Amino acid sequence: MLKQCKLCGEPASVRVPYARLSLCPKHFTEYVERHVRNTIKRYKLIKSGDRVVLAISGGKDSLALLHILNNLRGEVGFELSALNIDLGIRKDDYSLKAVQISEKYCRELGVELAKVDMKRDFGFTIDEVFSSNHVRRPICSSCGVIKRYVTNKVAVELGANSLATGHNLDDESAVLLSNYVKADIDLLVRSGPMLPSRGERMVSRIKPLYETSEKETTLYNFFKGIQHLEQKCPYASGASTLRLKEVVNALEEEWVGSKIALVRSFNKKIKPILAEHYSKNSKDIDLCEACGYPTSTKICSFCRLKKSVSKNC
Ligand code: AMP
Ligand code: FES
Ligand code: ZN
Ligand code: ZN
């Protein structure tokens, strides 16, 4: 049962079991902001003078993060701009709505938005990846290749040193668990709240919502009146990811704080050991012969994907 807000005595609207707090909307939103600020500090994600580009999808996590980072930029002393990719998903006007909602919120906050249109800027869309039936990769994994490549390229072109994304605690703890089960050392070593640049034409990637849950960002947007795209991507099958999230949330119910414990213990104790092993065995990073951006193969996966779409469309 909800009681009074622990901080002001007003009726509480939210219970945060992990922090053992019942909070009113005002103190809950302040709690989320403090939590994100602490994550940034704990993992040294942003420092004064940084130029941060935040990739926004129009979804709840990236728009909540845009609001929070926009309020933090003066205090920490970093520059902030946003980036949205129109992936060209026409079903249910998915991409159109995602672009419009991203533009509207950036305008409201006065944050500069770099807009990428996959068709105009790169010559192909996710719909075309889907219809080029010779592409054997699952669509979400091709989409991941595109987002990683495009966000890095645009951030480099904008002169940024960091690319932030809205990946949250539920995403990260679920993926971590799955990588543990598969003992996928390559993926484990590349996960975490920060992936530093490994050389030329590569920005660091940061996840300031690494310790903030999906429920927290949803409530944050609700209390702040932030409109986000509720619709799910029409290509998302997501069954296995959803199931994994249910598993970590069931664990959280049994053992309060287990999601944060999972990601913190990984970063503190396991990742340093894996990173050492990996640095001895990892492949060198080169520049793609076709586009000049980082890759560990002759031609990067984005250029290979693009070629295969243009051949098969
Ligand atoms: P997802 O891959 O959909 O789980 O999204 C994870 C994060 O990637 C989001 O929180 C955003 O930061 C970023 N992202 C996803 N889709 C886009 C997009 N179309 N444009 C820019 N950033 C995106
Ligand atoms: Fe990439 Fe759905 S957003 S396939
Ligand atoms: Zn209160
Ligand atoms: Zn390339």
Q: How far apart are CA 231 and CA 58, in angstroms?
A: 10
Q: How many A from CA of 3 to the centre of ligand 1?
A: 36
CB distance 147 to ligand 1 below 6 Å? yes
Ligand nearest to the CA of 303: 4
Tens digits of residue pLDDT in 127-162: 999 988 655 678 888 999 999 999 999 999 999 999
Domain with 120 in it: what CATH number?
Answer: 3.40.50.620
Residue 22 lies in a domain: no
What is the Cα–Cα distance from 62 to 102, expressed in whole angstroms? Answer: 9
Q: How far is CA 152 from CA 7, 26, 146, 158, in A?
A: 42, 36, 10, 10
Give me ligand 3 centre to Cα 59, in Å.
Answer: 27
CA 7 to centroid of ligand 3, rounded, Å: 5
Question: Is residue 25 assigned to a domain?
Answer: no
The answer to whether the CB of 40 falls within 8 A of the CB of 208 is yes
Give me the domain span that covers residue 134: 30-310
Over residues 52-62, the mean pLDDT reads: 98
For atom 4 of ligand 2, the residue with the nearest CA is 140
Q: Answer yes or no: is 14 within a domain.
A: no
The per-residue pLDDT for range 78-92, each reduced to its tens digit, is 999 999 999 999 999
For ligand 2, atom 1: residue with the closest CA: 143
Residue 122 contacts residue 290 (beta carbons within 8 Å): no
Alpha-carbon Rg for the chain, nearest whole angstrom, is 20
| pLDDT of amino acid 1 | 63
> Does a structural domain hold residue 270?
yes
More confident position, 304 or 1 = 304
Q: What per-residue confidence (pLDDT) applies to 204?
A: 97
Examine residue 6 and state whether it is found in any structural domain, yes or no: no
How confident is the model over 226-285, as pLDDT tens digits?
Answer: 999 999 999 987 677 788 999 999 999 999 999 999 999 999 999 999 888 777 666 778
Return the ligand number nearest the Cα of 237. 2
Query: Who has greater pLDDT, 310 or 50?
Result: 50
Residue 155: CB within 6 Å of ligand 1? no
- Whole-model pTM? 0.95
Domain count of the fold of the chain: 1
- Nearest CA among 31, 11, 8 for reference residue 219: 31
Question: Quick one: which atom of ligand 1 is closest to the CA of 233?
Answer: 3
